[in-house]
Amino acid sequence: MASSQEITNVEKDIVALFRRKDSQALQLIDQYYQRALVGVIMRIVKTEAFAQDVWQESLVKIWKNSHTYDPEKGRLFTWLLNICRRTAIDKTRSKVYKESFNVGESMTISDTGNPVPSESPYIDGIGVREMVKKLDPKYQEVIELAYFLGYSHQEMAQKLDLPLGTVKTRIRKAIKELRVWMGK
């Protein structure tokens, strides 16, 4: 597991490479973040094949939008996670994805025949789960649903039987608290 100082240095290197339009940035992202991000993607799309497709699509989006990343607005991992999460959610809404599960494919078995883990070990590798566990339970719940399970704000409001504004406020407060703990 990489130290927080090593991750900070890697983030700086990636940002510098983004600015120079150097594709080595993608190699560093793949080396340091791929396991965690694909773990989150798997929780949303449920199969290895779709997860790998989403990962490749996400890398393309990351590269095309690298100029939009602003270190002042948040951590690189959060930016990467949001791109991967949105791409995975978009995939689950696609016709191809929906049709693949309508023909009887199990959503709990990966394409290699291995069960999809209910808890991604990759997220813990960077300490995100441990930080989330420190949050008040009502904040843990919205972070889990939004970032680890891929729920939209509207879906969370329906699932939790809460007003949409309450869900959004809880997410903002949780993220603010996590940023304080991360030193951002």
Residues 23-59: tens digit of each pLDDT: 999 999 999 899 989 988 988 888 888 899 999 999 9
What is the signed CA dihedral for 100, 105, 110, 116, rounded to 10 degrees?
A: 110
Band (97; pLDDT cuts 50, 70, 90): confident
Question: According to the model, what pLDDT value does residue 25 have?
Answer: 93
Band (6; pLDDT cuts 50, 70, 90): low
Residues 10-20: tens digit of each pLDDT: 889 999 999 99
Band (110; pLDDT cuts 50, 70, 90): very low
CA distances from 163 to 5, 47, 149, 168 (A): 40, 32, 20, 9
- Would the pTM count as exceeding 0.95? no
Rounded Cα distance between 28 and 103, Å, is 38
Please count the CA atoms within 13 angstroms of the CA of 117 that sit on its side-chain side.
Answer: 10
* Tokens found for residue 57: 């699509």
